[in-house]
Chain A
Amino acid sequence: MTRTQIILTRLVLLGLVVATWELLPRLGFVNPRLLPPLSDVLTMLGQLLGRAQVQEAIWVTAAEVIVAFMIAVPLGAAIGVLIAENDYVGDIFRPMLFYVFSIPKSIFLPMFILIFGIGFGQKVAYAAFSTTFVVIMSAAAAVESVKADHILVARSYGATRGQILTRVYVPSMLPVLLETLRISMIFNFTGVMIAEMYASRTGIGHLIANWGENFQMRQLFAGVILLAVVAILFNEAVRYLESRCSTWRA
């Protein structure tokens, strides 16, 4: 299939999903109270975006996501580089990270609530905590993706440490670093959402949980669509940069 055909087929599939969502409740195949028609949901989304309460929640959530991201990424990257560069530290911690991945981080939420209370600090701390591990992992992977041969060549031509860093490490690591940022953002966003849904007074996650409890399905679906669209757009933007960066990389 050519590229245009693929895009066309995808659009048709998307159209089918949209049509099903709209028609099933309209024609009475499913209860519109359980699945409101898409058009109703989108109208509701428009109304919600105009409400001051929702706008405030969006800003709170955005601030939490950004601050947590700015804490988790440098911290995780520093530890990740240490693990990749120092064999001894790496041998100790790499197998441990295996287990950390399989542990639900959310079970530590009660600790964060006890220590930080229910507020901005707790959400940021939990999201940063749940993101740091994946940053460690991908940062270590980024450092290891630098080919030893390239470093050897640079060194034999008399490159200084600084030159090796800027001319070999950074260019080789760039695509993986972007991937790291993208994946950490997924984790970070999820972390903030869980924290807000679990115990919070504000934020989009809190609103979504509330709408669900009060059976306000139109609001709930509108919120889900909003978050999904934002997450997908960010992800695709970084992926686009990634593909731009890897074209010249063998």
Chain B
Amino acid sequence: MPLRWPAPSTMRWLILATLLVFWELMPRTKIVPELFLPSLSKTLAVLYSDRLEYVEALGVTLYEVAIAMLFACGAGILMGALGGGVALLRNLLLPVFSSLYAVPIVILYPIFTAWLGVGSESKIAFAGVYGFFPVMLSTAAGIRTIDPQYVLAARSMGATLSQQITRVVIPASIPTVLTGLRLGGALTIIGVVVAEMLTSAAGIGYLVTRYRTILDSPRVFAAILMILVLSVMFDVLARGLERRTLAWQTAGRRPRRSREIMQAVPAGAPA
């Protein structure tokens, strides 16, 4: 072979590095106007000089994300477990919920701001609803993948119902719950940011919108960069947690293919 391509992981870092270099060079060489894309160094400089403002905004956003996540994941996992586990609810309600999922939830946001004002409450409510549906649907789907043989085996060895639940169903559903948490977290971050961008008076999304209206591109990109880092960091952390807890369950399995990713993210996160 005359040409050996580098390993995929090396290639990924190369692509990332190239993107960063382009981000720096394109505006500097005036190929792209500074207004559209301020250079990376300028963005970072602004981020550093205005760090107090950005950290404060990050605090507001994180607070909203944390509370919304509590609602979305708590209610989503609970309802999903009920909906997936109880046949009656499954037949009755799951199809209804997956039909409702087609509705772009963002159109509800004006209702939340009219009801709850432009403060944190409306963001929490919106992001909570935004995260709830996918978490519930993925939990319901995940609960059903528990091998019925396990429950059958436990039952035939004389396990009581409570033993079946605590010893079989709960341990077997941990992967599903963790996926639900990761999904819910990512979605509530998206929901909070979208809500802050649309109508608000604080938070990182608000900074994006405020600096956009006054055409201060470096500050817009500083906020964008912060959100990017925030969501990627959350994803890496959540995935790390999942891998740690699941090492014994996924050992020896093939790496996930696209189909499984799609199922783990039922239609994922619009917006």
* Residue ranges of A at the interface with B (Cβ–Cβ < 8 Å): 1, 6, 9-10, 34, 80, 83-84, 88, 91-92, 94-99, 101-111, 113-115, 130, 134, 137-138, 140-141, 144-145, 182-183, 186-187, 189-191, 193-194, 197-198, 205, 208-209, 211-213, 215, 217, 220-221, 223-224, 227-228, 231-232, 234-236
What's the nearest-Cβ distance from chain B to residue A99, in Å?
A: 5
Interface residues contributed by chain B, number (CB under 8 Å): 63
Besides A111-B37, A183-B267, A235-B99, 4 other A-B contacts (C-beta < 8 A)? A10-B96, A80-B258, A104-B227, A193-B104
B111-125 residues with Cβ-Cβ distance < 8 A to A are 111, 113-115
What's the nearest-Cβ distance from chain B to residue A225, in Å?
A: 10
* Residues in chain B near residue A83, CB distance under 8 A: 258
Q: How far is the CA of A170 from the CA of B161 in the complex (A)?
A: 47
With A88-B8, A205-B107, A213-B199 known as contacts, the answer to whether A235 contacts B102 (CB < 8 A) is: yes
Asked if B271 contacts A227 (CB within 8 A), the reply is no
Asked if A9 contacts B102 (CB within 8 A), the reply is no
What's the nearest-Cβ distance from chain B to residue A226, in Å?
A: 10
* Residues in chain A near residue B271, CB distance under 8 A: 104-106, 130, 190-191, 194
Q: How far is the CA of A101 from the CA of B193 in the complex (A)?
A: 15
Asked if B197 contacts A109 (CB within 8 A), the reply is yes
* Residues in chain B near residue A34, CB distance under 8 A: 114-115
Partner of B270, one of A92, A102, A191: A191
What's the nearest-Cβ distance from chain A to residue B232, in Å?
A: 5
* Residues in chain B near residue A10, CB distance under 8 A: 92, 96
Which residue of chain A lies nearest to B204 when distances are taken between CB atoms in the complex? A107
* Residues in chain B near residue A183, CB distance under 8 A: 267
Partner of A197, one of B8, B114, B198, B220: B198
What's the nearest-Cβ distance from chain B to residue A192, in Å?
A: 8
What's the nearest-Cβ distance from chain A to residue B36, in Å?
A: 5
Q: How far is the CA of A92 from the CA of B205 in the complex (A)?
A: 31
What's the nearest-Cβ distance from chain A to residue B42, in Å?
A: 15
Say yes or no for B25: interface residue by CB 8 A criterion. Answer: no
Partner of A194, one of B101, B103, B194: B194
Main DSSP-derived SS at the B contact region: helix
* Residues in chain A near residue B217, CB distance under 8 A: 114
Bitwise interface map of B from 81 to 101 toward A, beta carbon under 8 Å scored 1, else 0:
000000010011000100111
Say yes or no for B60: interface residue by CB 8 A criterion. Answer: no
Say yes or no for B228: interface residue by CB 8 A criterion. Answer: yes
Q: Mind listing 13 A-B residue pairs with CB under 8 Å?
A: A98-B235, A101-B186, A104-B190, A106-B194, A110-B209, A114-B35, A130-B270, A141-B261, A190-B105, A212-B110, A232-B102, A232-B103, A236-B102
With A10-B96, A209-B110 known as contacts, the answer to whether A134 contacts B267 (CB < 8 A) is: yes
Partner of B106, one of A84, A88, A134, A197: A197
* Residues in chain A near residue B235, CB distance under 8 A: 98-99, 102
Bitwise interface map of B from 165 to 182 toward A, beta carbon under 8 Å scored 1, else 0:
000000000000000000
Asked if A232 contacts B257 (CB within 8 A), the reply is no
Asked if A212 contacts B111 (CB within 8 A), the reply is yes
* Residues in chain B near residue A141, CB distance under 8 A: 257-259, 261-262
* Residues in chain A near residue B224, CB distance under 8 A: 107-108, 110
Asked if A190 contacts B104 (CB within 8 A), the reply is yes
Q: How far is the CA of A108 from the CA of B194 in the complex (A)?
A: 11
Q: How far is the CA of A215 from the CA of B103 in the complex (A)?
A: 22
Say yes or no for B135: interface residue by CB 8 A criterion. Answer: no
